[in-house]
Structure formats: C-alpha cells, structure tokens
Structure 1
Amino acid sequence: MKNIINNIKYWSQVFLLPIYGLSFLIPRKKDIWLLGSTFGRRFADNPRYFYLYLNQFQNENVKAIWISKNKKVINFLNENGYEAYYARNIKGIWYCLRAKVYLYDNYSKDISFWLSGGAIKINMWHGIPLKKIQMDNVHDKVRHPDNVWNKFKYRLRRLSDEKPSDYVLTTSEELRNIFASAFRTNHVLPIGYPRNDIINSNQIENILDFDEKKYLNTIESRSFSKTLLYMPTFRDSEIKFFDKMDMIDLKEYLKLENVLLLIKLHPKSKLEKEFINLECKNICVIESSLDPYVFLPYADVLITDYSSIYFDYLLLNRPLIFFNYDMKEYLSNSREMYFNYNEVTPGKKVSNWLELKQALENIKNESECNKEQGERNLLKKKMFIEEDGLWSEKLYGEICKIIRI
C-alpha cells in the first residue's frame, strides 16, 4: 500500500509541469533569496550557515527566507526571530514565485522545483567528494538507468534533479573539474563552504534547537579526558561494523581511558536502533538527522571511513582514523572514488577493533602525530582556498555579481 501511494505521488507530478512553465512568467525580485535543505526537511549544512550570515550581516541588502516542508523547522526559526515559511502555504508559494535566488544543498526541490522557473539556482551541495557523485557515479540508476523502464520511470526525477542548478559551489580550484563533470556544468564556484565558517570563525552566531542543545549539554556536562566522534557514511555493508567490533572491550576501554564516544550516523543509515542500544555513560548516539557541524568542533579525534566529513575536519587540524572494514565491498557495490584513497586519507587505516584501539593509542605518540599533521596540512591546502575571511561573505559578493546588484 505504501509503495502504491508513493507511486501515485510521484507520477502525479506530471500535472505540475504546466505550473513550472508558468513560473517563468512571474517577475522576480533580486533582493529576495530563498534557502532550503535536504528536500525541505532539515535546517542544516551550507544553506543553514549562509542563511544565518545573510540575516546577521546583509539583512539591509537582501531578504533571506528559509523555506521548508517541516513545520517544526519553521516554528523554530520564527521563534528565534528569523523569517521562514512553510513551502505549501500562501506566503511560502508567493516567495517561491518572487525570489530571484534559490540556494540549496541537494536540488532545487529542497525549496520548490515546480515554482523555480526564472530563478537563479545555486547548488551549495553537501560535501567535498571523495566518492563519485551525480553523473560520475556509475552505480546511480537514476542518472544511469540500466533498462528502458528505468529510463522512463526516472525521467521526472532527472528533470527536477538535474535541470535546476545554474551554479554549483565547491571549496577549491582543485575540485572545479570534478564538480563540472559530476553536474555537467561549466558554472562552478570554487569559493568555499559557509558551513565551515562556523569552524573557522566565531563571527556567525549559530542558533540551536532543542535536540541540539540537549546533546551539547550531555557532552559538556560529562567530564572526560577526550571525545571521539564516529561518523560513518551510508552503505549496505555497514552492518559488518558489529562483526568487526568487540563491544564489551570497547566499553571497557572507554571507561578505563575516561573517553566519550559520540556516534553520529548518516541520515540514511538503517542501524540507528542497534547503535542506540549501545548507549552508556561513555557512549552517546546523536540523532542522525541533526546537523553534524554543531558537534564536529567538540571531537578530539574523528573516526570515519569514506565520509567526506573528514575534509571539513581538516580545518580543525586534529587526528583522523579511517575505519574502512568493508572497503572491497564498498568500491565494488557502492561508489568509485575520484582520488586514490590512501593518498588523501591522512590517518591510520584500520579494519577491526584491535587495530582501532592501537590507532587510538598511537595518537599519544608525538612523532607519529607530527607526521600525520603534515599530511593533513598538505591535503587542506589542496581542498580549500585560503582562509582569509568568511567564505559566506565571498559567496554573497559572487552572487551579487551574478544577479547584478
């Protein structure tokens, strides 16, 4: 029954095609900028921090409005004095038709694809790609359908996914060609990500919702010698984690060393309940839908696998450990990579708990840490343009040039 309902919703979008065409006829105002994230569900990532920047630094020049399909997000922003509207109410629809600039981190349907005709659309994306993305990902059946039915079936989705982005944001010249290939565009902006302003600078004032405050209070109220953050990416073989770990020994290690382990899974992970069952004084599982950039600065060590979060973590210049226990399966069944994995992962690679524990012990070795610090700095220079001011400010200036205000 659920599949039937989803199919009806999907194919009913055909009737919105005339609305999309008509949306090109509505005059748009250059000083109205809309932002949204994750298909309209979250207040997170690059749109979140650019929205805060615009409202805190450019509110006399542009009207920055958050559009969401999540009323909880709308209420949270309104309660904090920010302008935000539900995507399907009159004001939300009106601003979707009138705004000249759309900014999002997936696709323009984070705001509203069907009302976006004539707007300048800037895809801020949600990561620095280690893994191949979009058109470069041969495992993506939407963009590379393997039969006639899938080619027909995904036609509507390809329209709303691929057509809207006039510009794509990235973090360095090194990545320009990758984004140009993945998004099939020459309009790549190697400016830097607004979400990293919250790591590099205290100029932008973040606002935290109830759940974010709850987890931060938990972290800050406990007295630990060190905080580890485990942030894996999503894939089918993630279930193998439990085969590679000795959970009893892990808990004993954390208790003995007085260490807090934070676990923040990918929003698509199917293992959140299993990880929540591990919670104890030394293990805290952060709700997967929350914005990771709220918690990233609290980690003394980041443990990941193939998640691009580690590129952002380079800006903190702290140790990295890569727990790549299923690398063979991942490369075969999930994603190919743009880079040689071993050349762009400045940290120990481990595949089981004993190796992970040893890597944690090695962090205490000063000479080993100095070597990895040098590797991290080299990679940071490759992946990020110079840190001379807010990246949000540079993006704002570039958009003003594009729309000529």
Structure 2
Amino acid sequence: MKRVFKYIKIVLKIIIGFPFYYISMVIPKKKELAVIGSSLGKHFADNTKYYYINYYSKEKSSLNLIWISKNRDVVKELKLKGLPAEYLYSFKGIYITLRASKAYLSHRLDDINSALIGGAKIIQLWHGMPLRKIGYGGDWTEHNLSGKIYILISKYFPYAYYMKCDILIAPCETAKLKLIEPFSKSFRNNKIADNIVLARQPRTLCFDNKFELASTFFPEVDLLKSLSKKHNKIISWLPTHRAVFNKSILDVILDSKLDLNKLNTFCKQNNTLFVIKAHFLDFNETSKIVQSLDFIYVYPHADAYPLLKYTDILITDYSSVFFDFLFLNRPIIFMSHDLEEYREKVNFYYNYENLNIGPICKSWNEVMKIITDISNNQDDYLCKREEAFNNYHFEVDCI
C-alpha cells in the first residue's frame, strides 16, 4: 500500500508539475538572483544553511541569494535578522523562484520546488558522504519495472526526479568516485564526472575554531554551553533513520535492548549527558520516554552540527555523520546491533568492518565499557582516526 501511494504521488507530481515546469523554463532568469533551501523546505539546516551564513558573513557580491522555505517561521526568523528570505507559497516567493538563475539544495529538488526551478542551474550541495549505496545502483536500478519508470522520469520529467541537478559537490576524491554511479541519471548532460565538483561541505565549517556559533543563527548555543559546563562529557547518539525497515528510533531502542534506566544510572555515576539526536519525525515520542531521566536528553533542534561541536563521544551506526566528525578527531563508537539485517537491505560503498576509526559494538554493555575506557584516557583509535582523516584528503575550501 505504501508503495502504491508513493507511485500515485509521483504521477500527481508529473501531471501537476508539467505546465509549471515548462512555463518556468521559458521565464527569463536574472543572472544576479539565486534561491537556496534545505530539508524539503522545512528547516534552516545542513550544508545550505552554512553556505548561506558563510556567504552573508563575507563581503557582499553581486549575487542576491534568497532563502526559500515552506516554513513561515524560518522565513520570519531570517527576516528578523535582516537577511533575504521568502515563503515559497506567496506571490513574491513564487516570482523570485521563477526568476532565479541558480538554485542551491541540500537534499532534493523539493528543498525548494521542483516545478518552479526549470531553467535554473541546480547546485546540489548534498547532505553527506554516503556510507550506504544511494540513488541509482543503490535505492533503485533499471533492471525492474520501477527502475525503468525512474529512467523515463529522469529523462522526460526531470522535475519529478528528486536527484536532478547540474552541479554536485563532493568533499573529497574518494566521495566523488562513489557518487558517480548514484548520480549518473541526475545531470542534463553525460559528463558525469565533470559535473561533480570537489569542495568542502559547508556544514563542516562549524568545527573550525574561527567559526563563531553566534546566537543570531544558533540560539541553541547557550543551552549547549550550559550542558557542557554542567557535565564532564557529552555523548551524542545519532542513529540512522531506518525508513527502509519502516522503523522509528523507538524500534531501534527496543531492538537493540537499550535499557534507558540503566544507561541513565551509568551516566549519572560519571556525570555524563547522553544526548539522543532523533529524526524529527521521532522527536515527540522519544522525548516522552526519557522525560523522567535526568542524564538522557533528546535534542530538539534540526541542525545537529552545533551539538557535534560540543560532543565528546559520537555514537552512530550507519550514518555518514562520522565522516564529518573526523574533523574533530574525537572518539567514535559504532553501535550496530542489526548490522547483518541492515546489510541484507542495503549495500555499502565502503567496507564497514575496515573503516578502522572506532569500535563496532553489538550491545549497549559493550558501548558503556568503551565509554569507561575512553573516560580513563584509553582511546585506541586516536591515531587511526587521524590517519583516516588525512587519507581522505578532504577539501579545505567551499565553493
């Protein structure tokens, strides 16, 4: 039923978007006008957020870069800061989007509106250096009916193909090579490798000492400073959203046999705060089950990067966030209780067991033991993380 609904949604997008897309293709573009958005238009977050902040922190250029959002609160907050932003579903928002010569995205075409950016040059900053296979060759292939449909959509209805773009940013040569296949159906020409440009992911600027987490853009920073002073360590758990299994983080907690009361006691004994950064769809339910636990906190903000800057130990599983965390060279623990099950559903670009930047655990008891070792200055992966970071040769400059 879920798959049927998905296809119905695609068909409706094709039908409804068709006239708007081809109208937008012929509307003259303003060379000095660009639009930017993120997270399906819902949040001010990810690479586009940091690109936007970095752009307006420098000496102004001729390009008028306007944040477009489907969230009125985001627009209101940016305007209060004196920055250009428009609500997409307003006359002005639609007009600006139609006239923009460039569109910057972090996730997919719907970060703004796929049918309204026809004719604009689409710069996809993307939202990570993927560990698991994505797009063509990962999420789908052309060897079945649904794949053949995707091929037709990408060719003849590009506004309905979520990964369509003109330029894709990759943070290093290794990532670029991995992204060639998944984005092979995304570009308007066949020069796939040429369309993938090496540049730093703007969100990693957050980790630089010279980058100020000004409360103007990061209201959460006062909270993070307070939590950091109050506790000896902040441990952040960022599990992968398991949409492929139709599971929430509550399922992950149950499946992994995480005893929240036991974890809370452990953290209390060590004056450590355990922060859960859940997917925004899981936030409310997760908050309810930890509300009586003083040393476990569910992070309420969409942008995880300020939290990561204050994180002493990162726990994740298959999220590519650990590649970014290498910039800080702080301990990483992989809690992968369902590795075999997960690998049956998806394929990896990298040999997971040979990443060699942190221990791979199958139980929370193992995790707590390693946390204790790290707290006692026994970090077995310190040099290995540094070596891995250097071997990836991450780009140092943004576009």
TM-score normalised by the shorter chain: which range applies? 0.7 to 0.9
Q: Deviations over 1:36-66 (max 9, x none)?
A: 0011111000000101111121424321110
Cα distance in structure 2, aligned partners of 1:120 and 1:319: 39
In 2, are the aligned partners of 1:192 and 1:384 still within 8 Å (CA)?
Answer: no
Match of 2:303 in 1: 291
Aligned: 1:80 with 2:81 = yes
Stretches of structure 2 that go unaligned for 5 or more consecutive residues are 185-191
- Rate the CA distance shift 1:207–1:8 in 2: closer, same or farther, 3 A: same
In 1, are the aligned partners of 2:42 and 2:70 still within 8 Å (CA)?
Answer: yes
Amino acid at match of 1:128: M
Cα distance in structure 2, aligned partners of 1:188 and 1:8: 29
- Rate the CA distance shift 1:330–1:46 in 2: closer, same or farther, 3 A: same
Amino acid at match of 1:234: H
Q: Deviations over 1:322-351 (max 9, x none)?
A: 101110011112x21001002214111111
Q: Per-residue deviation at 1:111? A: 1.3
Match of 2:188 in 1: none
**TM-score of the aligned structures, taking structure 1 as reference length:** 0.84
- Rate the CA distance shift 1:153–1:127 in 2: closer, same or farther, 3 A: closer
Aligned: 1:278 with 2:290 = yes
Aligned: 1:262 with 2:270 = no
Between 318-327 and 109-118, the greater mean CA deviation after superposition? 109-118
Aligned: 1:339 with 2:350 = yes
- Rate the CA distance shift 1:144–1:256 in 2: closer, same or farther, 3 A: farther
Match of 1:110 in 2: 111
Question: Could you tell me the percent identity over the aligned residues?
Answer: 28
In 1, are the aligned partners of 2:22 and 2:118 still within 8 Å (CA)?
Answer: yes
**TM-score of the aligned structures, taking structure 2 as reference length:** 0.86
Q: Per-residue deviation at 1:23? A: 1.5
Runs of 4+ aligned structure 1 residues displaced above 6 Å come to 2-6
Q: Per-residue deviation at 1:148? A: 6.0
Aligned: 1:37 with 2:34 = no
Counterpart mapping for 1:141-152 below 5 A:
146-147=144-145, 151=149
Q: Per-residue deviation at 1:215? A: 4.7
Match of 1:385 in 2: 394
- Rate the CA distance shift 1:337–1:219 in 2: closer, same or farther, 3 A: same
Cα distance in structure 1, aligned partners of 2:321 and 2:70: 26
Q: Per-residue deviation at 1:255? A: 0.8
Aligned residues: 380
Q: Deviations over 1:98-124 (max 9, x none)?
A: 211111011222112112122111111
In 1, are the aligned partners of 2:221 and 2:306 still within 8 Å (CA)?
Answer: no
- Rate the CA distance shift 1:201–1:213 in 2: closer, same or farther, 3 A: closer
In 1, are the aligned partners of 2:51 and 2:203 still within 8 Å (CA)?
Answer: yes
Cα distance in structure 2, aligned partners of 1:364 and 1:29: 56
In 2, are the aligned partners of 1:265 and 1:272 still within 8 Å (CA)?
Answer: no
> 1:261 is paired with a residue of what secondary structure?
strand
Match of 1:52 in 2: 53
- Rate the CA distance shift 1:374–1:305 in 2: closer, same or farther, 3 A: same
In 2, are the aligned partners of 1:240 and 1:326 still within 8 Å (CA)?
Answer: no
Match of 1:199 in 2: 207
Counterpart mapping for 1:236-251 below 5 A:
236=245, 239-242=251-254, 243-251=256-264
Match of 1:91 in 2: 92
